[in-house]
Amino acid sequence: MDERLEQICARARERFPERVSEPAEAFGEVSVEVAREGLVEVATWLRDEEEFALLADWSAVDHLDVEPDERRFLCAAHLASVSAPLRLRLRVFVPDGDETCPSLVGVWPAADCQEREMFDFFGIRFEGHPDLRRIFMPEEWDGHPQRKDYPLGGTNVQYQHGQFIPPPDRRGQDTTTTGYPGRIS
Amino acid sequence: MSASEVFVGGQDWDVVSTRTGEDTLVINMGPQHPSTHGVLRLVLEIDGETIVNAKSVVGYLHTGIEKNTEVRNWVQGVTFVTRMDYLAPFHNEIAYCLGVERLLGITAPERAQVIRVLLAELNRISSHLVWLATSGMELGALSMMLYGFREREMILDIFEHITGLRMNHAYVRPGGLSTDLPDGSIEKIREFLDSFPKRIDEYEGLLSENPTWIDRNAGIGILDAETAIGLGVTGPLLRAAGVPRDLRKTESTLPYERYDFDVAVDDAADCLARFRVRVKEMRESLRICRQVIDDLPGGPVMIEDPKIAWPAKLGLGPDGLGNEPGYIQKIMGESMEALIHHFKLVTEGFKVPAGEVYVPIESPRGELGYHLVSSGGTRPWRVHVRDPSFINLQAMPGMVRGHLLADVVAVVASLDPVMGGVDR
Amino acid sequence: MGLEEHLPSGILLTNVTNFVQWARKSSLWPATFGLACCAIEMMATGASHHDIARFGMEVFRASPRQADLMIVAGRVSQKMGPVLRTIYDQMPEPKWVISMGVCATSGGMFNNYAIIQGVDQIVPVDIYVPGCPPRPEMLMDGILKLHEKIKNTPLVIR
């Protein structure tokens, strides 16, 4: 691990003992798990004291059936420094059933549209976000499309011999109709 | 703040207008508009001709690509991912393949990496040409549109010669490239590199000292460095504000350190500065391309590992590019294991170890990052794209406040958003 | 017919249908409806290398009220569907629709929740041009076939 990153993680553990975990290194990248409650504090400290001025990416992953329910949603913040080649990933786990997370908009305004995207696709509510509403799907859309229990959607595609093959996540089901609501066969 | 609820079809005028102040008017630069660079909807609150507030509504091109990649295997992901930012398809493919390679723990052969750099730089030039063409057209310099697309045809010709397609190539694969450069590509590229500098001089002669261009761009859309960094803005917008951040210099994902080039930086932080930065970037890309083809290493373009590399060798036959007849003879006639191996790799795909990576590269619009999460299978668990246009678009309301309505067009043009990347 | 022999040169005879159809097909004005990658190929078709000005179509009208051809170039998402229909309704008759690219024709490679599987679910389409994206020459082939179709459309039904 890069020496500077090691020192930064050590200082973070010192400053926020219960909030920040041991750094984990994999594939040449360093990640640190941060508890939900302390996220804004840790982020502010990293921005002000440790020169991570740029929030490169703030996104979510749905670990349905892979991780236990209290760690279903992983929100990963990728921090970067502007002049030095330092990158750090902050991992925040959000449980199923209580999908809320403190908002990083106060720390980096860049988080604004990304949190709306996470709300739209995963249903994670960000406390402190000024205007949390859907950004990509129409306002009246039901459901959160990128969750693992949301189907891919789409219609059955007509192949030869009169077969209608469903999209990849529904294969093995009815192959006789288009599957499109409101259409005749 | 008024206008905090915005509906899709625009039926919200009575709702929105009752909340605004007495003198302001809310107008819609709808998703179908000749000057908003694609399907971007802007809701502007104006007082006379001056913008008081602006909001962008995106999502009119949302394609669900990120969810689609979860049901297709890792190599098929390249075809999906290439269609996000459709003006820089090579950058998307390269970043995705770098991410897969990092998860697999392999590196592509040297020749493949160098050709990736070459294609990325040519793509940067073609993307900046489209930017110049459409910006010129939107601000009234209509001949710029024709010149830009004329030059772009030359680059698309090169791409078609190398990859077979003009756009959305799916040429870069995890492990390297799908085929090697065919004969004649280097000559074509050299021809292009010899004729292009004169053309850039032509464009600068047409626009840089042009009083109308300067009037419409100077002092418009100021975005200073601190605001830009806070908003996560990267790319030419950040460099035009004086911050020399270029991932080609700071990250070592692609072998840019072999080549000598300067980072284009300007201080003025307005639309004219961004114009100058992008033109300079085109010149620097030409420099890099010339250095690449003067010193192209030999060797394979796909790694040797049979568990990952695409099994078939492609060759030019009597009816075009396809599987080589010798290979087909081998798998159909001679070797059962080769047939099974080919079948498994093509239909199921290779398995990628579990974990997550984030690979950023410098695309023409800024930092393009891929956050790939694998669960150890043949399909990705999650592919998240950090698209630069999506983040850069957040800067639009601040840049536009206080300017006139016509300046919105100039500002959005200088932001260079590509809605395929914004909406994914 | 013996009539032309008795006329001085420089006079052509035709009937109203042929004349109107020829006028309609000769300068179709497209409405700008470029959505995604196909829009870039549509712009390339309008540019100087593959010129559609030779067919009278280089003026892409921004206002649908002044256009008579809508080239739906690109993938139509769920949010864009109502907008597409509104623009189509705003175009005055006679109007035609070319669905350019596989995403507009049938949803393309994006068989999922977000894309309308074929723009003919919303508007009636005259010519489907496949491709991802179709080359400018393919689009021009589609346009020329539309010209043929217009030439053969009887005047009375509309």
User: Does residue C78 belong to the interface with chain B, where contact is any CB pair within 8 Å?
Assistant: yes
Residue C156 located in a structural domain = no
Containing A92, the helix (H) or strand (E) segment is strand A87-94
For residue C119, the distance in angstroms to the closest alpha carbon of chain A comes to 14
The C-alpha angle with vertex A10 and arms to A9 and A15, in degrees rounded to 5, equals 95
Q: Could you give the CA distance from residue C158 to residue C147 in angstroms, rounded to a whole number?
A: 17
pLDDT digits (tens, 9 = 90+) for B91-129: 999 999 999 999 998 888 999 999 999 999 999 999 999
Strand B366-374 relative to strand A24-26, pairing: unpaired
Query: What is the pLDDT averaged over residues B37-45?
Result: 87
Of A73-82, B13-22, B25-34, least confident by mean pLDDT is B13-22
Interface of C with A (CB under 8 A): 78-79, 107, 110-114, 117
Give the rounded percent of residues in chain C with a pLDDT score beyond 90. 30
Query: What is the pLDDT averaged over residues B170-187?
Result: 88
Residue C154 located in a structural domain = no
Residue B410, pLDDT > 50, answer: yes
Q: Could you give the CA distance from residue B137 to residue B130 in angstroms, rounded to a whole number?
A: 10
Q: Could you give the CA distance from residue B345 to residue B360 in angstroms, rounded to a whole number?
A: 28
Q: What is the pLDDT of residue B4?
A: 43
Q: Could you give the CA distance from residue C82 to residue A138 in angstroms, rounded to a whole number?
A: 11
- pLDDT band of residue A185 (cuts 50, 70, 90) is very low
Q: What is the pLDDT of residue A49?
A: 81
What pairs with residue B371 in β-bridges?
B358, B384
User: Does residue A131 belong to the interface with chain B, where contact is any CB pair within 8 Å?
Assistant: yes
| Cβ(A31)–Cβ(A93) below 8 Å | no
Residue C4 located in a structural domain = no
Q: Whose CA is closest to A58, among B70, B390, C76?
A: B390
Query: What is the pLDDT averaged over residues C46-71?
Result: 87
| Cβ(B269)–Cβ(B240) below 8 Å | yes
Residue B317, pLDDT > 60, answer: yes
Q: Pick the more confident residue, A120 or B306.
A: A120
User: Does residue A106 belong to the interface with chain B, where contact is any CB pair within 8 Å?
Assistant: no
Q: What is the pLDDT of residue B12?
A: 57
Is B63 in contact with C114 (Cβ distance < 8 A)? yes
Residue B53, pLDDT > 90, answer: no
Look up residue A182 and give its amino acid: G
Which residue in C76, C79, C102 has the most chain A C-beta atoms within 10 A of its own C-beta, making it the best mutation to test that interface?
C79
- The alpha-helical segments, DSSP class H, found in chain A are 3-15, 39-48, 111-122
Q: Could you give the CA distance from residue B376 to residue B353 in angstroms, rounded to a whole number?
A: 4
Residue A178, pLDDT > 80, answer: no
User: Does residue A113 belong to the interface with chain C, where contact is any CB pair within 8 Å?
Assistant: no
Query: Which CATH code is given to the segment(s) B67-303+352-423?
Result: 1.10.645.10
Task: List the domains of chain A with CATH numbers.
Answer: 3-127 (3.30.460.80), 149-179 (no CATH)
Q: Could you give the CA distance from residue A37 to residue A98 in angstroms, rounded to a whole number?
A: 13
| Cβ(B172)–Cβ(B100) below 8 Å | no
Q: What is the pLDDT of residue B295?
A: 87
User: Does residue A108 belong to the interface with chain B, where contact is any CB pair within 8 Å?
Assistant: yes
Q: What is the pLDDT of residue C31?
A: 86
- The beta-carbon neighbor of A154 closest among C78, C79, C111 is C111
| Closest chain A residue to C77, measured at CA | A137
- pLDDT band of residue B2 (cuts 50, 70, 90) is very low
Q: Could you give the CA distance from residue C57 to residue B187 in angstroms, rounded to a whole number?
A: 36
Cα separation values, A128 from A32, A92, A100, A136, Å: 23, 17, 11, 21
Write phi, then psi, for B46 (nearest 5 degrees).
-120, 150
Give the range with max mean pLDDT: B33-47, B113-127, B175-189, C141-155: B113-127
Q: What is the pLDDT of residue B365?
A: 92
Which chain B residues contact residue A85 at CB under 8 A?
250-251
- pLDDT band of residue C96 (cuts 50, 70, 90) is very high
Q: Whose CA is closest to C154, among C14, C13, C16?
A: C16
Residue C145, pLDDT > 90, answer: yes
- pLDDT band of residue A181 (cuts 50, 70, 90) is low
**How many A-C residue pairs are in contact by the CB < 8 A criterion?**
31
**Which 3 state secondary structure label does DSSP give A5?**
helix
Q: What is the pLDDT of residue B15?
A: 57
**Where in the sequence is the domain holding C140, given as residue range(s)?**
28-147
Q: Pick the more confident residue, A176 or A27.
A: A27
Query: What is the pLDDT averaged over residues B170-186?
Result: 87
Residue C140 located in a structural domain = yes
In the structure encoding, which two tokens stand for residue B27, read together? 């107008």
Question: Domain map of chain B by residue range?
Answer: 13-57, 67-303+352-423, 314-348
User: Does residue B143 belong to the interface with chain C, where contact is any CB pair within 8 Å?
Assistant: no
Is A151 in contact with C113 (Cβ distance < 8 A)? yes
pLDDT digits (tens, 9 = 90+) for A118-136: 999 999 999 888 888 888 9
**Which 3 state secondary structure label does DSSP give A81?**
coil
Q: What is the pLDDT of residue A173?
A: 63
Q: What is the pLDDT of residue B48?
A: 83
Residue with tokens 């990509």: A136
In the structure encoding, which two tokens stand for residue B66, read together? 């990120």
Is B156 in contact with C48 (Cβ distance < 8 A)? no
Q: What is the pLDDT of residue B90?
A: 93
Strand A125-127 relative to strand B366-374, pairing: unpaired
Cα separation values, A137 from A115, B61, B64, B262, C147, Å: 14, 10, 10, 41, 38
Which residue in B11, B32, B156 has the most chain C C-beta atoms within 10 A of its own C-beta, making it the best mutation to test that interface?
B32
Which chain C residues contact residue A145 at CB under 8 A?
113-114
pLDDT digits (tens, 9 = 90+) for C14-32: 888 888 888 888 888 988 7
Kindly report the number of other CB atoms within 10 A of residue C139's CB atom.
27
| Closest chain A residue to B359, measured at CA | A29
| Closest chain A residue to B106, measured at CA | A27
Write phi, then psi, for B88 (nearest 5 degrees).
-130, 60
- pLDDT band of residue B155 (cuts 50, 70, 90) is very high
- Angle at which helices C136-151 and C16-26 cross, to 10°: 160
Is C111 in contact with A145 (Cβ distance < 8 A)? no
Q: What is the pLDDT of residue C94?
A: 87
| Max CA distance (Å), chain B | 83
Q: Whose CA is closest to C42, among C70, C82, C23, C83?
A: C70
- The beta-carbon neighbor of C114 closest among B64, B146, B166 is B64
Q: Could you give the CA distance from residue B9 to residue A183 in angstroms, rounded to a whole number?
A: 25
| Closest chain B residue to C83, measured at CA | B9
Q: Could you give the CA distance from residue A32 to residue A23 in angstroms, rounded to a whole number?
A: 5
Half-sphere exposure of C87 (CA within 13 A, CB side): 26
Which residue in A32, A33, A113 has the most chain B C-beta atoms within 10 A of its own C-beta, making it the best mutation to test that interface?
A113
Q: Could you give the CA distance from residue B4 to residue B15 in angstroms, rounded to a whole number?
A: 10
- pLDDT band of residue C100 (cuts 50, 70, 90) is very high
Question: Which residues, in sequence order, are CB contacts of B395 under 8 Å at separation 6+?
Answer: B223, B227, B228, B231, B233, B237, B415
Residue B149, pLDDT > 60, answer: yes
Residue A138, pLDDT > 90, answer: no
Our count of domains for chain C comes to 1
Residue C51, pLDDT > 90, answer: no
**How many A-B residue pairs are in contact by the CB < 8 A criterion?**
104
Q: Whose CA is closest to B391, among B344, B358, B424, B342?
A: B424
Q: What is the pLDDT of residue B320?
A: 66
Is A141 in contact with C117 (Cβ distance < 8 A)? no
Residue A179, pLDDT > 80, answer: no
Q: Could you give the CA distance from residue B272 to residue B215 in angstroms, rounded to a whole number?
A: 9
pLDDT digits (tens, 9 = 90+) for A63-93: 887 777 778 899 999 999 888 888 899 999 9
In the structure encoding, which two tokens stand for residue B142, read together? 């209509």
Q: What is the pLDDT of residue B190?
A: 92
- pLDDT band of residue A183 (cuts 50, 70, 90) is very low
User: Does residue A155 belong to the interface with chain B, where contact is any CB pair within 8 Å?
Assistant: no
In sequence order, what DSSP letters do the residues of C20-78 get, joined into one string?
HHHHHHHTPPEE--B-SHHHHHHHHHHSSSS-SGGGT----BSSGGG-SEEEEES--BT
User: Does residue A152 belong to the interface with chain C, where contact is any CB pair within 8 Å?
Assistant: yes
| Closest chain B residue to C60, measured at CA | B34
What CATH number corresponds to the domain at position C40? 3.40.50.12280
| Closest chain B residue to A76, measured at CA | B371
Question: Which residues, in sequence order, are CB contacts of C43 under 8 Å at separation 6+?
Answer: B133, B134, B145, B149, C34
Q: What is the pLDDT of residue B338?
A: 80
For residue A67, the distance in angstroms to the closest alpha carbon of chain C comes to 26
Containing A55, the helix (H) or strand (E) segment is strand A54-62
Compute, in degrees rounded to 10, the torsion defined by CA atoms B244, B249, B251, B257.
180
In the structure encoding, which two tokens stand for residue A151, read together? 């189907």
- pLDDT band of residue B158 (cuts 50, 70, 90) is very high
Residue B10, pLDDT > 80, answer: no
Neighbours of chain C (3+ CB pairs under 8 A): A, B
Is B167 in contact with C80 (Cβ distance < 8 A)? no
Is A78 in contact with B369 (Cβ distance < 8 A)? yes
Q: What is the pLDDT of residue C102?
A: 92
Question: Which residues, in sequence order, are CB contacts of A159 under 8 Å at separation 6+?
Answer: A165
Q: What is the pLDDT of residue B1?
A: 32
pLDDT digits (tens, 9 = 90+) for A5-64: 888 888 888 888 888 888 888 888 889 888 888 888 888 888 888 788 889 999 899 888
Distance of CA C88 to the CA centre of its chain: 12
Give the rounded percent of residues in chain B with a pLDDT score beyond 90. 33
Mean pLDDT of chain C: 87
- The beta-carbon neighbor of B371 closest among A26, A55, A57 is A57
Mean pLDDT of chain B: 86
Q: Pick the more confident residue, B251 or A78.
A: A78
Tell me which long-range contacts A21-27 makes (C-beta under 8 A, separation of at least 24): A25/A1, A26/B355, A26/B356, A27/B102, A27/B103, A27/B105, A27/B355, A27/B357
For residue C128, the distance in angstroms to the closest alpha carbon of chain B comes to 20
